[in-house]
Amino acid sequence: MTDATQSAVAIGSITRPFIGRMHRAFKVAAIGAFLFASACATAPVTPHKTSAMQEMFALAFSDIHDIHLDTIAIDTLALGGLQGLALIEPAAELKRNRDDVEFLFNGILIGKTGAPDANDSKAWANAVDTLITIGKQSSEKLKTADDERIYKAVFAGLLKKLDRYSRYAGAKLARRNREMREGFGGVGISIKAEPDGARVVKVSTDSPASKAGLQIGDLIIDIDGVKTRGRTLGEIASQIHGPVNKKITIKIQRISLDAPIMATMQRVRVIANTVHYAARDAVAYIRVTSFNQDTAKQLKGSVQKARRELGDKLIGLVLDLRDNPGGLLDQAVDTADLFIVRGRISTTKGRHRDSLQRFNASNGDISHGLPIAVLMNGASASAAEILAAALQDNGRAILIGSSSFGKGTVQTVLRLPNDGELVLTWARLLAPLGYSLNGLGVLPNICTSNASDVDSVLKDALGGNLERSRTALSLRRSARDDNETASKAAKASCPWRPSNGSDIDIEVAKRILGSGKLYERAVVVSAPIAGS
């Protein structure tokens, strides 16, 4: 399904893709110990061996320079990062003066270091570490700040030089992010915090908790000998989560019993359910809330369940991608591949050769040609837009709602030495017909932005000769993502408006899916215009 435009070149150990390829390059070769330091109002800074902070910054500088969508000099990143120290110490001022980088404290020069070559990641990491050490000699705030706080400040500064989607996550947040993408070790329960512990509000079928006898309403009062009373929901959940296959003992209080119950179970990998199915008359309604590593599998199961339950009565599918912020690129591609027999699904293009990828359909159509209506709005983004554009451009679905968000870039997640993550934008996303999604989003076949009722929506979108609707889509596809005027015009042609409480999108979808003639006309709206 993936056809790389060039032969892949490994740039390090690769972790799981996230709206893009999650791609790691641990180039932590020994960093030179020579420091370009001299002191100006403080004692000299003694050269020292490579520090964890130097390794951290050398790796980050190198990866950003090699991988980011835009070419950015390492000295620009380093100086931006140093300026971020003002978030900890407002009196700190870092500036470049010819061949040196100076540290001023309350306007007074306290030290400086030589400015390395523009793109020497190791030397700039040493320089940043040296200047931080200089600053700690004069600033109590910097001196008492732990490494993580300094990392956050430096990354906050350097990220201002990058795009809006590149970001840093410390170890704790990165761990939660990985759990959302990849799953975590758990026992299959949902809980809510109460003063005396945590109340079980859901027990998943066939989960370790279910097999151990836990029930909805049970109060968890102790986990592995640690009482839950007075602890936050996050603290309790963190203790329930843990290594897969490791046992956990939970003590519960059940209203119907006098004495507490001890239940021991073994953690299994838990992946959040992102797909929710319900039969609505003769239509299979499937809501996809995000894209994690199990989404395509879950959606396939939902379609198969709908076919079993509804049989010949099933007239079509509604895929609700409204408010879906996206997720894993490979899952958006795999989901599209469930319904497209052949053709392009998406293309990614960036500076790094590994970012040049073409994704093509290969697995056939599990719905056997059933009509599909995709619902979307201005909060449908990223992987959701990949799926919507793929189905629309291949004539495999109609889109109903408003213009999507327009997050048409791919991020790669880089694991850092502190167990944190650096999320970098490294490629642009192109729809099957070749247009960029970034800033522009996907335009629906049927716009419901100004809808008052189903009949008026259908008349406006599908009445007459369809010329107006087809032209609007053609103009959208020809717009460039670096043209702000075109971007605003594309969004304005079908703006996202708050719902008034009614769900006209679903009603429009059901009406169109129930009429072969209406569905065919709606598909024609998104067909490419000859010569466009």
Cα separation of the two ends of the chain = 28
Coil, strand, or helix at residue 222?
strand
d(CA 122, CA 130): 12
Given the residues 393, 402, 491, 505, select the one marked as catalytic. Answer: 393
Neighbours of 516 (CB within 10 A): 11
Residues 502 and 508 sit within 8 Å (Cβ to Cβ): no
Two tokens, residue 488: 């605003």
* Burial class of residue 393 (count of CB atoms within 10 Å of its CB; 0-12, 13-18, 19+): buried
Query: Is 337 noted as a catalytic residue in this protein?
Result: no
d(CA 43, CA 48): 15
What is the DSSP track for 89-118?
-TTEEEEEETTEEEEEETTEEEEEEE---T
Given the residues 382, 402, 403, 436, select the one marked as catalytic. Answer: 382
Which of 39, 227, 206, 203 lies closest to 135, judged by CA?
Answer: 39
Query: Is 404 noted as a catalytic residue in this protein?
Result: no
Which of 304, 296, 244 lies closest to 275, judged by CA?
Answer: 296
Q: Is 364 left (phi over 0), alpha (psi -120 to 50) or beta?
A: left
Residues 418 and 54 sit within 8 Å (Cβ to Cβ): no
Residues 298 and 319 sit within 8 Å (Cβ to Cβ): no
Residues 382 and 327 sit within 8 Å (Cβ to Cβ): yes
Q: What is the CA radius of gyration of the chain?
A: 27
d(CA 37, CA 185): 47
d(CA 489, CA 484): 9
Two tokens, residue 158: 């350097």
Residue 234 has φ and ψ, to the nearest 5°, of -65, -40
* Burial class of residue 2 (count of CB atoms within 10 Å of its CB; 0-12, 13-18, 19+): middle
Given the residues 112, 161, 251, 407, select the one marked as catalytic. Answer: 407
d(CA 293, CA 307): 24
Query: Is 382 noted as a catalytic residue in this protein?
Result: yes
Which of 382, 469, 427 lies closest to 69, judged by CA?
Answer: 427
Which of 317, 465, 325, 464 lies closest to 398, judged by CA?
Answer: 317
**Residues classed as catalytic:** 382, 393, 407
